[in-house]
Amino acid sequence: MPWIIRDIEPWFADGVEVRSSIIHGKGLYSKRLFERGSDILRIGGCLFHISERRSGYVMPSTTTPVSEQVIMAERVRGSKDYSDYLNHSCDPNIGFRDAISIVAIRDIPAGEELVIDYAFWECDSAWKLKTVCNCGSRNCRQNVTGENWQLVKPTDECYRYFSPFLKRRILALAEKGNTNDAR
């Protein structure tokens, strides 16, 4: 068996829907106001060891690392859940509360696309967004890659919305930087 745990049930809040997106293909949209901090969805799928990422058992584009060693993803003949339609923005309105739960970063009015910064979980140095980002935000990075998390500091506002395993990496990197500065 290629998976560790199979068929973890996803969850999403009332008032979230999949629609065609201006950013890319389909996206998630709010149908009502979501207040800052409110639950949006919980990622589902199967847990795989990270070495299975490109093994053919995992549906590409549904992969979310949940720890250094484990990814959540759909099986190749499984069906997508809402989290698999999340589009990227360099100015996200949703982020992680824990490894699989996603919450509103700010008040989100009805009709807005729910967008996340892929850097919140993506750390595969071989991965990058296939096209230049056109999220239109003032701080758009244009090239969105699996190394973007390295640009973040623990004091940045967005830090709290990173997946917990990446927060630990960001902390470790910052501590290393401090040690080097002191020399």
Beta-bridge partners for 27: 19
Neighbour count for residue 24 (Cβ, 10 Å): 16
Q: Which is nearer to Zn ion, 66 or 119 (CB)?
A: 119
Q: Which of residues 35-94 bind Zn ion (CB under 5 A)?
A: 90
Neighbour count for residue 143 (Cβ, 10 Å): 11
| Residue 133 lies near Zn ion (rule: CB under 5 A) | yes
| Residue 135 lies near Zn ion (rule: CB under 5 A) | yes
Q: How far is the CB of 140 from Zn ion (least distance, A)?
A: 3
Q: Which is nearer to Zn ion, 81 or 113 (CB)?
A: 113
Q: How far is the CB of 105 from Zn ion (least distance, A)?
A: 15
| Residue 140 lies near Zn ion (rule: CB under 5 A) | yes
| Residue 174 lies near Zn ion (rule: CB under 5 A) | no
* 74-89 core/surface letters (b: 16 or more CB in 10 A; e: else): bbeebeebbbbbbbbb
> CB under 8 Å to 158, separation ≥6 — which residues?
92, 95, 117, 120, 152
In angstroms, how far is the first alpha carbon of the chain from the final one?
49
Which range binds Zn ion by CB under 5 A, 45-53, 62-70, 111-119, 130-138?
130-138
Q: Which is nearer to Zn ion, 90 or 108 (CB)?
A: 90
Q: How far is the CB of 89 from Zn ion (least distance, A)?
A: 6
Which range binds Zn ion by CB under 5 A, 108-116, 120-128, 136-144, 150-158?
136-144
| Residue 104 lies near Zn ion (rule: CB under 5 A) | no
> CB under 8 Å to 65, separation ≥6 — which residues?
50, 71, 72, 121, 122, 123, 124, 163, 165
Residues lying near Zn ion in the complex (CB under 5 A) are found at: 90, 133, 135, 140
